[in-house]
């Protein structure tokens, strides 16, 4: 039977590739955005893709989705479908013969305890910029790569492409190290992505286009030294388009239908936002993991997939923030959560657009300022936890705030949304509940997921430190910064590595999650360099334990 339909499958695939690249129909909450998308590896390679991923032909699910076909994709699919008795070894040989497969990155490996790097950490970070910087990318036929017109920085390890929210934190360090050219180049790259897709994708791969990440392009633009009017006008229009992406569906929500794409109508009629993905299929890059998670759940697979994808958009993939059952990923309900970090960032975006409108003398300032003030009021009404003294996330299903305090509580301080009184309460809560020996805790819940205790992440350290400084809590900001810096420097001196995340309880490299610990690492380099610029090197004579 496979022989019979091989030719038809190849013909259909060839026809699909020659027409507009659009996402497949969705089982629920079909987007009406009109955002054009490119074919993902699953769309393009079908059963071949699913066999490679489900049979784990490669250790890392990201390996095959980043491979580049050596010849016409339809011909490869036809040859695969011409037989149905592939062994794992034969399938691996077939893939290696027909694809340029990236080398699978190894987990971060220490040089050995007691081995001291030859150069200071600041010099090591300075040297990493050239190592992690990539030249412009032209997309090759059949590849999952998206074209990128200018130079960019990758995180490192298995992350071979440009990522959205990572890049802001990475660029903090690049600018501190005297690379304003990288700041301008990557702003241009992200602006071009908005031109093409109407939003900034999660990363520069086709399988990331159906979602974005925390909206930080306005923060990246704030690092720029550009002052010429044409550049400022273009950037204003790009930010307006990105804001429109997050607000699509605002006119469709009602009391009866309170959610549409990223938009949520609260019970009092106010508008807030959630994380969401246009697709409800397994993530290409984590296909096997998502299928197994859905199989183990008692919920509809499409909803599990949508919530897994939405959590990937949040950047917190994965965390107890999204899990009603803290230890079961299959219970994930990201799309039922109205998150404080996203809404604080959108408030910042709206205020930034308003400031840019006013600076350019355009009449859009009042509109965006009004939207920002409405969002501020809604966040204070729905996402402030008076009992905890913290900002939190609203659960639409439970109709109440999530009970746990997380590092996301610092975002309203960072973007200027929080009142002085609430900022003071948050500072006390952070000191009491989230300050750990090695920096800021992500959450206080241990689930085995990487965005939970005991891990601390560089971007969350920066958000908290900068937010506390802005609101007058300099002593606590310094305490978090110096503790985290000591953690990073201690590990660097022991292993020669800067890694993706750290265990801030035991002051060592972090763990948990879907993949091994990665080194490189873009946002750790950036935040560490920026914090050293603000606070200097930490006092390593103190006992962090």
Task: Say if residues 383 and 343 touch (Cβ distance below 8 Å).
Answer: yes
Q: What is the pTM of this model?
A: 0.92
Task: Say if residues 107 and 516 touch (Cβ distance below 8 Å).
Answer: yes
- Report the pLDDT value the prediction gives residue 109, as an integer from 0 to 100: 54
Contacts for 278 with CB less than 8 Å, ≥ 6 apart: 23, 26, 31, 33, 35, 37, 210, 211, 261
- Report the pLDDT value the prediction gives residue 543, as an integer from 0 to 100: 55
Which of these is catalytic: 81, 280, 500, 519? 500
Domain ranges of the chain: 2-100
> What does the pLDDT look like over 377-415, one tens digit per residue?
999 999 999 999 999 999 999 999 999 999 999 999 999
Task: Say if residues 137 and 146 touch (Cβ distance below 8 Å).
Answer: yes
Q: Which residue has the higher pLDDT, 81 or 32?
A: 81
- Report the pLDDT value the prediction gives residue 115, as an integer from 0 to 100: 59
Q: Is 265 helix (H, G, I), strand (E, B) or coil?
A: strand
Task: Say if residues 329 and 198 touch (Cβ distance below 8 Å).
Answer: no
In angstroms, rounded to a whole number, what is the distance separating the alpha carbons of residues 319 and 299?
19
- Report the pLDDT value the prediction gives residue 484, as an integer from 0 to 100: 98
> What does the pLDDT look like over 65-117, one tens digit per residue?
999 999 999 999 999 999 999 999 999 999 999 999 998 765 555 444 555 68
For residue 167, is pLDDT > 70? yes
516: number of Cβ within 10 Å: 17
- Report the pLDDT value the prediction gives residue 1, as an integer from 0 to 100: 34
- Report the pLDDT value the prediction gives residue 253, as an integer from 0 to 100: 98
Contacts for 451 with CB less than 8 Å, ≥ 6 apart: 316, 317, 318, 319, 321, 442, 443, 457, 513
**Could you tell me the CA-to-CA distances from 198 to 143, 201, 455 in Å, in that order?**
21, 9, 34
Question: What proportion of the chain, given as a percentage, has pLDDT over 90?
Answer: 86
For residue 19, is pLDDT > 80? no
Assess whether 317 carries a catalytic annotation: yes
Which of these is catalytic: 166, 317, 393, 479? 317
> What does the pLDDT look like over 123-140, one tens digit per residue?
999 999 999 999 999 989
> What does the pLDDT look like over 303-345, one tens digit per residue?
999 999 999 999 999 999 999 987 799 999 999 999 999 999 9
Contacts for 201 with CB less than 8 Å, ≥ 6 apart: 146, 164, 193, 208, 209, 210, 211, 212
> What does the pLDDT look like over 39-50, one tens digit per residue?
999 999 999 999
- Report the pLDDT value the prediction gives residue 107, as an integer from 0 to 100: 55
- Report the pLDDT value the prediction gives residue 488, as an integer from 0 to 100: 97
- Report the pLDDT value the prediction gives residue 106, as an integer from 0 to 100: 56
> What does the pLDDT look like over 205-221, one tens digit per residue?
999 999 999 999 999 99
Q: Is 319 helix (H, G, I), strand (E, B) or coil?
A: coil
In angstroms, rounded to a whole number, what is the distance separating the alpha carbons of residues 239 and 352?
9
Average pLDDT, the chain: 91
In angstroms, rounded to a whole number, what is the distance separating the alpha carbons of residues 159 and 172?
19
Question: Quick one: pLDDT band at residue 477, thresholds 50, 70, 90?
Answer: very high
Task: Say if residues 508 and 495 touch (Cβ distance below 8 Å).
Answer: no
Q: Is 509 helix (H, G, I), strand (E, B) or coil?
A: strand
- Report the pLDDT value the prediction gives residue 514, as an integer from 0 to 100: 75
Q: What are phi and psi of 299, to 5 degrees?
A: -105, 160
Assess whether 452 carries a catalytic annotation: no
Highest averaged pLDDT of the listed ranges 17-31, 98-112, 221-235: 221-235
- Report the pLDDT value the prediction gives residue 104, as an integer from 0 to 100: 75
Nearest-10 crossing angle of helices 2-18, 73-81 = 170
In the chain, what are the helix, strand and coil shares in percent, each to the nearest 5?
A: 50, 10, 40
- Report the pLDDT value the prediction gives residue 105, as an integer from 0 to 100: 61
């Amino acid at each position: 039977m496979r022989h019979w339909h091989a030719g038809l499958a190849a013909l259909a695939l060839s026809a699909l590739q020659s027409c507009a690249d659009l996402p497949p129909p969705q089982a629920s909450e079909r987007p009406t955005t009109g955002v054009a998308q490119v074919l993902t590896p699953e769309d393009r390679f079908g059963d071949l893709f699913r066999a490679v991923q489900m049979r784990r032909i490669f250790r890392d699910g990201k390996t095959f989705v980043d491979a580049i076909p050596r010849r016409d994709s339809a011909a490869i699919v036809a040859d695969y479908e011409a037989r149905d008795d592939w062994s794992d070894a034969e399938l691996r040989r077939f893939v290696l013969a027909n694809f340029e497969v990236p080398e699978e990155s190894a987990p971060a490996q220490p040089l050995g305890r007691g081995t001291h790097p030859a150069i200071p950490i600041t010099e090591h970070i300075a040297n990493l910029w050239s190592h992690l910087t990539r030249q412009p990318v032209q997309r090759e036929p059949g590849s999952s790569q998206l074209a990128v017109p200018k130079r960019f920085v990758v995180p490192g390890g298995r992350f071979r492409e440009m990522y959205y929210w990572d890049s802001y934190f990475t660029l903090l360090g690049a600018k501190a190290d005297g690379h304003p050219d990288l700041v301008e180049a990557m702003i241009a790259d992200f602006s071009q992505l908005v031109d093409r897709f109407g939003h900034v994708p999660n990363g520069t791969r086709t399988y990331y286009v159906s979602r974005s990440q925390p909206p930080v392009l306005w923060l990246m633009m704030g690092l720029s030294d550009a002052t010429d009017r044409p550049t400022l006008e273009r950037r204003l229009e790009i930010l307006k388009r990105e804001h429109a992406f997050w607000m699509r569906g605002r006119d469709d929500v009602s009391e009866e239908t309170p959610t549409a794409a990223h938009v949520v109508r609260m019970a009092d009629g106010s508008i807030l936002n959630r994380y969401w993905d246009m697709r409800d299929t397994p993530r290409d890059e984590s296909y096997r993991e998502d299928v197994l998670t859905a199989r183990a759940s008692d919920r509809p697979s499409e909803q599990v997939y949508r919530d897994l994808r939405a959590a990937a958009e949040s950047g917190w993939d994965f965390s107890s923030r999204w899990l009603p059952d803290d230890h079961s990923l299959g219970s994930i309900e990201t799309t039922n959560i109205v998150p404080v970090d996203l809404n604080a960032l959108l408030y910042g975006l709206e205020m930034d657009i308003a400031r840019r409108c006013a600076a350019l003398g355009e009449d859009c300032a009042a509109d965006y300022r009004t939207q920002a003030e409405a969002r501020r009021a809604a966040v204070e009404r729905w996402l402030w936890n008076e009992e905890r003294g913290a900002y939190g996330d609203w659960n639409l299903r439970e109709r109440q705030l999530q009970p746990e305090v997380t590092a996301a509580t610092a975002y309203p301080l960072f973007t200027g949304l929080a009142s002085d009184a609430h900022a003071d309460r948050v500072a006390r809560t952070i000191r009491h509940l989230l300050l750990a020996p090695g920096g800021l805790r992500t959450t206080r819940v241990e689930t085995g997921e990487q965005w939970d205790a005991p891990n601390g992440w560089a971007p969350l350290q920066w958000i908290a430190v900068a937010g506390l400084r802005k609101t007058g809590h300099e002593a606590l900001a310094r305490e978090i910064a110096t503790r985290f810096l000591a953690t990073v420097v201690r590990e660097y001196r022991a292993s020669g590595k800067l890694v993706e995340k750290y265990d801030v309880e035991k002051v060592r490299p972090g763990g948990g999650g879907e993949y091994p610990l990665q080194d490189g690492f873009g946002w750790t380099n950036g935040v560490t360099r920026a914090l050293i610029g603000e606070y200097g090197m930490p006092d390593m004579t103190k006992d962090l334990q």
